[in-house]
């Protein structure tokens, strides 16, 4: 709400309305509106101007916020006027003229009457990429921020603003919004249409990086570009960019190839392939040769090892320029005394002269130095930014005056005025320029990266600095992306004198545009997107677009002198330069290829552990998937199951039609490990267990296969003999999982409390489960095999029970009169048969004690009772301490005397007289070691049952238990502790006698784990 304390008047110069103070009302008597405070444009001395008063300089009414008061479009912004917008039909489109931001060309795509997909109900607008001619069809611009605004002519603050970011490519060439403003609202009264029913759109884009290309999974660097990349071994991208730049200097590659390493080769042959550490020259030769001949990315581990680096160095980001100097120094050291001595200097070495010249006397001091690279300032010593290479070189060679208090001491002339500086004497054929992007900031007292704009030409004229130096051609650009603490290096290289540039980003090598290699790496900042339509006219006068710094910029530049560029870039033939090196590298390649094939073959090998039915019959107790194998095979993972079936049939000496195979698999939902049918048409790889399976061994993957023969074959090891009736064996080659099922069958003997495995039984899915009992198969297996169980009672009136062993903790009853399909049984499920037992009377309580008992005995009448009994059975370690005894912690008796480690009375064996024994003998209590026993209990025991078991085991009398009748005259108190009572722990509560041992275990602070036991202290 704006205050009514002024009136409007027309501004004859601008044709708009202005604000003026007036104490009265206007002639028509309408209320006046004015800004609170003093009148605009009139300020007294000392008046304070604030952001609030700036906003109130002009009241932002709809007249002041007309479209005409908007600033003109920015350099990255496009304005598009569409006349007679209401004359367009639904689905009819119009495009604006294009605008190029960096090398991203875009335009506005507008549907004034809406798109067909939107039903023509709203105006639709999109930003559409318009790639330049000649761009790779796989082009993509990553992370382009864009905005589209439909401007309201009468009040631009009501304009519709939309913004987002997108990766523009051929497949995603446009991006925008279908619903900007409803077409029914388009009129000059609403402000959406201007003179001539004109729609006004504005759009701008902020391009983060120049174009690149999208590569698919089958992209081949060698086929696409003719080059391969280098693997990144942690943080070695800086080394990869530098090595690629050196490799594509053909003369440098020729120098590396030419070095004779015969002595090193012989030494390594004597030491052996795996024992000898190759030299830096050999490692560099290997890398360069592989870069020239390999089809995939090259490994640099040998080269890193020759530097003396370890794994830590591989993950440490080093400086590319520093590595370049180290590499050249090492090469020169290794080439001393050879025919290639001095070749590095002839290629990279330049000369400069440090001079001091007196102004008033004839005296000059000069000193010549050599350089391999020139470090150029991005920011001058005076603090201003330098824009070009020439400007930075001028500052590098600028004179410095020595006068005043800084006079020069000239030999023989005393202190004199002088000028000193550096001048170049000779530039090398290959000029390395390092841009000093990393700078120590004196204000922050820390290193910072300078992202300011610094331009470098494709053709550099250095005649200004050395007479006759000539022109240099840009060959490679090493780029750093990131900040001073972290970042990434990659390189743009022009391998030949044509205009085709290639981007080398570790193992990814792609063609790129010249703009992406040069202009895009100048640095600087880009105009960002901004919704300035929310601002008032007074704010727009001082509005500045937000910017975003380019964190990727050139760090190292390599120029080659134009008159010798063809010679320097000439690709050498390694066979002509050094045939011995080629033979060595070729032998290493063959050896590596052989090792790779052996490794692949080893990875494709699969160990098959065969399990026969007789092996299952040796298992007792509940299901355990760790079955000892009978026989092992090795096969290829890509072989079909049919090949395995033929080998198994040959091993068993039976027809392959009479054998069926089942693989041990993990069922995720049920969390069980069971045998599943192996279709002969599938591969062995498809039958391998999952990595998360309990029986999977990552060190040595294997497949456990159960071999089941037709009914009638003997149960035993290979070879299997036919012992069946005269009818032929079942043809198992026609096995169908929908109609046939295989079950693992067990038997539980109630008398001996023993579970034995009878074997495997296959049957129809629609046959009742008791078929295996009615057919006599269960009785036959019990009689044939010596399971050491009680004999079966007479068959007349014998009642059977069937249980499914779902898991050790879950035993579920099954109706043996129903079919496996109706009982939802799957292949490999485990069934347990037993003779039905009479149920105990209902009036008997399971916790009720019989006379003379201190703890209940839980009856085991079926498999479920046995599982419950085994789950609740626990070994309890009980240590009985007498409260009248001296405290003893870790064998040290607290006898009241300091300095006693452990008295001899607390030790086993012969006594040895010690001073502390005399002190202990004076104690009123005689020390006795605490007695410890391991007792078998049940987690279902109540607190009183535990007391009774302990009392009975230790022979304690007069302990109050449920079985102690009549009550004892005197009572022995037992306090329970989870640890030594001398540690200060509180005893367990004894008030709740209905507390079970399981509840005590749940509250235990520490439960030690023992193999095969569940102990409790």
Question: 659 has which bridge partners?
Answer: 709
Active site residue 237: yes
Distance CA 646, CA 654 (A): 10
DSSP per residue, 743-805: EEEEEEETTTTEEEEEEEEEEETTS-TTHHHHTTHHHHHHHHS----PPPPPSTT--EEEEEE
**Is residue 597 packed enough to be buried (19+ CB in 10 Å), middle (13-18) or exposed (0-12)?**
exposed
Structure tokens at 65: 């916020």
Structure tokens at 434: 């390092």
Contacts of 82 (CB under 8 A, 6+ apart): 94, 110, 112, 198, 199, 200, 201
Of the residues 488, 625, 656, 869, which is catalytic? Answer: 488
Contacts of 50 (CB under 8 A, 6+ apart): none
Contacts of 498 (CB under 8 A, 6+ apart): none
> Which residue has tokens 């009980």?
878
Q: Residue length, the chain?
A: 1017
DSSP H/E element including 268: helix 262-271
**Is residue 731 packed enough to be buried (19+ CB in 10 Å), middle (13-18) or exposed (0-12)?**
exposed
Residues 787 and 619: beta-carbon distance below 8 Å: no
How many C-alpha atoms does 101 have within 13 Å on its Cβ side?
A: 25
Name the DSSP letter for residue 274: T
Distance CA 969, CA 987 (A): 25
Q: Rounded to the nearest 5°, which phi and psi values hold at 118?
A: -90, 0
> Which residue has tokens 């180290």?
326
Measured at the CA of 582, the angle between CA 576 and CA 585, to 5 degrees, comes to 160
Distance CA 366, CA 422 (A): 10
Of the residues 205, 206, 237, 749, which is catalytic? Answer: 237
Contacts by residues 4-11 (CB-CB < 8 Å, ≥ 24 positions apart): 4/31, 4/32, 4/33, 4/34, 5/32, 5/33, 5/34, 5/35, 5/36, 6/32, 6/33, 6/34, 6/35, 6/39, 7/32, 7/33, 7/34, 8/33
Q: Rounded to the nearest 5°, which phi and psi values hold at 2?
A: -100, 140
Distance CA 214, CA 667 (A): 40
Contacts of 301 (CB under 8 A, 6+ apart): 233
Q: How far is CA 735 from CA 636, 641, 732, 769, 831, in A?
A: 24, 14, 5, 19, 21
Distance CA 763, CA 816 (A): 13
Among candidates 885, 870, 858, 798, which has minimal Cα distance to 833? 798
Distance CA 200, CA 123 (A): 12
DSSP H/E element including 163: strand 160-169
- If one counts every other C-beta atom within 10 angstroms of the C-beta of residue 332, the result is 15
Among candidates 940, 953, 945, which has minimal Cα distance to 878? 953
Active site residue 475: no
Structure tokens at 411: 């030999």
> Which residue has tokens 């009992």?
773
Distance CA 257, CA 585 (A): 11
Handedness of CA 607, 613, 616, 617 (dihedral sign): negative
Helix axes 262-271, 280-293, angle to 10 degrees: 100
Structure tokens at 91: 């689905």
Handedness of CA 518, 521, 527, 528 (dihedral sign): positive
Q: Rounded to the nearest 5°, which phi and psi values hold at 440?
A: -85, 120
Residues 115 and 178: beta-carbon distance below 8 Å: yes
Q: Which residues are catalytic?
A: 237, 488
């Amino acid at each position: 709400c704006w205050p009514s304390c002024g009136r409007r008047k027309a501004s004859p110069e601008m044709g708009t309305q202005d604000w003026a103070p007036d104490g009265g009302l206007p002639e028509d008597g309408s209320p006046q509106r004015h800004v609170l405070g003093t009148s605009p444009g009139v300020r007294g001395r000392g008046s304070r101007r604030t952001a609030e008063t700036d906003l109130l300089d002009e009241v932002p009414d709809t007249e002041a916020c007309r479209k005409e008061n908007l600033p003109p479009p920015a350099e990255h912004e496009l304005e598009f006027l569409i006349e007679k917008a209401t004359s367009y039909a639904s689905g009819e489109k119009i495009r604006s003229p294009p605008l190029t931001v960096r090398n991203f060309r875009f335009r506005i795509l507008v549907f004034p009457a809406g798109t067909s997909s939107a039903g023509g109900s709203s105006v639709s607008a999109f930003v559409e990429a318009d790639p330049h001619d000649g761009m790779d069809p796989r082009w993509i611009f990553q992370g382009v921020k864009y905005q589209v605004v439909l401007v309201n002519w009468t009040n631009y603050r009501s304009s519709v603003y939309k913004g987002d970011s997108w990766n523009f490519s051929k497949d995603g060439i446009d991006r925008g919004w279908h619903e900007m403003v409803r077409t029914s609202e388009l009129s000059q009264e609403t402000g959406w249409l201007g003179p001539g029913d004109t729609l006004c759109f504005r759009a701008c884009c902020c391009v983060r990086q120049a174009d690149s290309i999208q590569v698919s999974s089958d992209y081949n660097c060698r086929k696409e570009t003719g080059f391969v990349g280098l693997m990144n071994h942690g943080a070695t991208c800086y080394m990869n960019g530098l090595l690629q730049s050196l490799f594509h200097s053909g003369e440098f590659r020729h120098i590396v190839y030419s070095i004779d390493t015969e002595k090193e080769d012989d030494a390594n042959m004597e030491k052996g392939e795996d024992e000898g550490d190759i030299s830096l020259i050999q490692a560099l030769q290997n890398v360069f040769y592989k870069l020239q001949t390999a089809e995939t990315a090259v490994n640099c581990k040998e080269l890193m090892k020759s530097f003396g680096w370890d794994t830590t160095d591989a993950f440490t980001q080093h400086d590319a320029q520093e590595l370049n100097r180290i590499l050249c120094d090492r090469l020169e050291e290794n080439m001393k005394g050879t025919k290639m001595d001095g070749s590095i200097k002839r290629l990279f070495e330049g000369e400069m002269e440090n001079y001091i010249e007196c102004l008033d006397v004839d005296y000059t001091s000069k000193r010549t130095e050599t350089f391999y690279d020139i470090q150029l300032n991005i920011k001058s010593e005076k603090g201003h930014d330098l824009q070009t290479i020439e400007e930075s070189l001028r500052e590098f060679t600028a004179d410095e005056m020595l006068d005043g208090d800084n006079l020069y001491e000239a030999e023989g002339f005393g202190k004199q005025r002088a000028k000193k500086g550096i001048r170049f004497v000779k530039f090398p054929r290959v000029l390395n320029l390092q841009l000093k992007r990393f700078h120590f900031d004196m204000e922050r007292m820390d290193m910072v990266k300078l992202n300011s704009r610094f331009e470098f030409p494709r053709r550099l004229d250095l005649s200004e600095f050395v007479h006759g130096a000539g022109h240099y051609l840009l060959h490679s650009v090493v780029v750093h992306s990131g900040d001073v603490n972290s970042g990434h290096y990659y390189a743009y290289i022009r391998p030949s004198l044509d205009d085709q540039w290639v981007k080398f980003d570790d193992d990814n090598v792609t063609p790129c545009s010249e703009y992406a290699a040069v202009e895009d790496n100048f640095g600087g900042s880009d105009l960002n997107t901004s919704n300035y339509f929310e601002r008032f006219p007074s704010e727009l006068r001082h509005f500045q677009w937000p910017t975003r710094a380019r964190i990727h910029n050139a760090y190292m530049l390599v120029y080659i002198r134009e008159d010798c560029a063809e010679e320097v870039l000439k690709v050498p033939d390694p066979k002509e330069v050094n045939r011995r090196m080629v033979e060595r590298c070729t032998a290493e390649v063959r050896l590596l290829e052989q090792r790779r094939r052996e490794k692949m073959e080893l990875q494709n090998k699969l160990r098959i552990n065969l399990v026969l039915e007789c092996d299952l019959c040796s298992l007792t107790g509940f299901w355990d998937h760790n079955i000892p194998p009978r026989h092992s095979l090795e096969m290829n993972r890509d072989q079909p199951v049919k090949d395995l079936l033929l080998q198994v049939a040959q091993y068993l000496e039976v027809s392959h039609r009479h054998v069926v195979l089942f693989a041990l698999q993990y069922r995720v939902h049920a969390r069980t490990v069971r045998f599943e049918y192996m279709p002969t048409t599938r591969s062995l790889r498809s039958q391998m267990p999952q990595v998360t399976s309990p029986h999977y061994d990552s060190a040595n993957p294997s497949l456990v296969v159960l071999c089941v023969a037709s009914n009638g074959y003997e149960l035993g090891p290979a070879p299997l003999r036919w012992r069946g009736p005269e009818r032929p064996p079942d043809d198992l080659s026609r096995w169908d999982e929908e109609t046939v099922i295989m079950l693992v069958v067990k038997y539980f003997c109630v008398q001996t409390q023993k579970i034995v495995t009878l074997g495997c039984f296959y049957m129809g899915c629609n046959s009742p489960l008791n078929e295996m009992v009615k057919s006599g198969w269960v009785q036959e297996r019990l009689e044939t095999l010596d399971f050491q169980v009680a004999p079966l009672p007479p068959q007349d009136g014998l009642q059977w029970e069937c249980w499914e062993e779902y898991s050790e903790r879950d035993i579920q009853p099954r109706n043996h009169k129903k079919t496996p399909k109706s009982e939802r049984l799957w292949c490999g499920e485990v069934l347990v048969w037993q003779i039905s037992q009479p149920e105990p009377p209902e009036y008997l309580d399971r916790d009720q004690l019989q006379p003379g008992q201190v703890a209940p005995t839980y009856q085991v009448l079926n498999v479920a009772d046995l599982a419950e009994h085994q789950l609740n059975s626990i070994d309890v370690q009980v240590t009985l301490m007498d409260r009248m005894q001296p405290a003893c912690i870790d064998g040290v008796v607290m006898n009241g005397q300091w300095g006693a480690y452990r008295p001899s009375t607390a030790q086993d064996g012969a006594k040895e007289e010690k001073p502390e024994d005399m002190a202990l003998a004076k104690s009123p209590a005689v020390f006795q070691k605490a007695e410890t026993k391991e007792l078998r209990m049940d987690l279902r025991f109540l607190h009183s049952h535990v007391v009774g078991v302990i009392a009975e085991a230790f022979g304690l009398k007069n302990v109050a238990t449920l079985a102690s009748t009549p009550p004892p005259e005197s009572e022995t108190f037992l306090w329970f502790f989870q640890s030594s009572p001398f540690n200060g722990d509180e005893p367990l509560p004894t008030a709740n006698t209905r507390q079970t041992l399981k509840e005590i275990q749940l509250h235990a602070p520490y439960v030690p784990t023992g193999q095969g036991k569940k102990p409790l202290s």
